[in-house]
Amino acid sequence: MTVVVKVGGDLVKDERALDNVLGDFKGVVSKDRAVLVHGGGDIVTEIATKLGKEQVFITSPEGFRSRYTDRETAEIYSMVMSGDINKKLVTHLQRLGVKAIGISGLDGGLLRAERKKRLVIIDERGRKRAIDGGYTGRIVSVESSILDMLMNSGYTPVVAPVALGDEYEILNVDGDRAAAHIAGALKATLVLLTDVEGVILDGRVLRLVKQHEVEGLLKKLGPGMITKVYAANEALSLGAPRVVISSGLKDHPITSALSGEVGTSFMAS
């Protein structure tokens, strides 16, 4: 089996939470092939602000929230994601005895994306408006042979969600969506770890969502989770057998999600 695990920014920031997640990840690596994908948007925002580059967030009419990425922001994004955050994860894994190799979507053309020409947003007055797409990308291909090569040689890839555009520009891609495309390409089970126990509806964690139920579900979710559920559906459509959205803050977060004890599982039917 191959497993793709995505960790969110909050987990990267908290040393103890990270130790818990990566300790469990080490167990997965010892049995299965595994890829770690990370986010870290909050850290990008923090560092951009320190550099004097105020970050702007936009919301689509469907409720997806994202960073408005101009050229300077794309550079800061790539620097923080594939530098700071990726290397923290790699060093932490090495300390645990995992042969981790950090790689961004730019390296070897691992993640290729198409630049979004226009974005439709809801402005401050609640009106729909089209703006220039900036440097955000829609993933079009995954060079999964790079990941296969690393894993087959005993290395564990740690992927930063940055993609290579048509004109070789650096593009910001969402971490959940990057993980979904990678899981699809590898036909791997995807575990999206976050700071809540799964998809919560009317105060309860959903245990199982079938793919045909996703469209109706998306309308009921808030920012953050809507992206994850969209990504879960995308991963299934691309060939992942199963996706679990679960908490990274519990004991054995990955193995308990894989065994189905916790989290919200997504299956094709």
Task: Please give the residue ranges that form the binding site for ligand ADP (CB under 6 A).
Answer: 8-10, 39, 194-196, 199-201, 221-222, 224-225
Candidates 74-82, 111-119, 195-203, 224-232; binding stretch for Mg ion (CB under 5 A): 224-232
For the bound state, the minimum distance from the C-beta of residue 145 to ligand ADP, rounded and expressed in Å, comes to: 28
- Give the number of other Cβ atoms within 10 Å of residue 102's Cβ: 21
Q: Where are the beta strands (DSSP E) in the chain?
A: 2-7, 33-38, 56-59, 65-68, 100-104, 111-115, 118-122, 128-132, 137-142, 156-160, 162-164, 170-172, 189-194, 200-201, 204-205, 208-210, 243-247, 264-267
Comparison of 135 and 230: residue with beta carbon closer to ligand ADP: 230
For the bound state, the minimum distance from the C-beta of residue 108 to ligand ADP, rounded and expressed in Å, comes to: 25
Query: According to CB under 5 A, which residues from 229 to 258 bind Mg ion?
Result: none
Nearest partner of 93 among 5, 184, 1, 183, judged by Cα: 5
Candidates 54-62, 121-129, 216-224, 260-268; binding stretch for Mg ion (CB under 5 A): 216-224
For the bound state, the minimum distance from the C-beta of residue 15 to Mg ion, rounded and expressed in Å, comes to: 20
Comparison of 225 and 236: residue with beta carbon closer to ligand ADP: 225
For the bound state, the minimum distance from the C-beta of residue 201 to ligand ADP, rounded and expressed in Å, comes to: 6
Q: How big is the chain by its Cα radius of gyration, in Å? A: 17
Question: Residues 12, 89: contact at Cβ < 8 Å?
Answer: yes
When CB distances are held under 5 to 8 angstroms depending on the partner's kind, the choice from Mg ion, ligand ADP, none that residue 203 binds is none
Binding site for Mg ion (CB under 5 A): 224
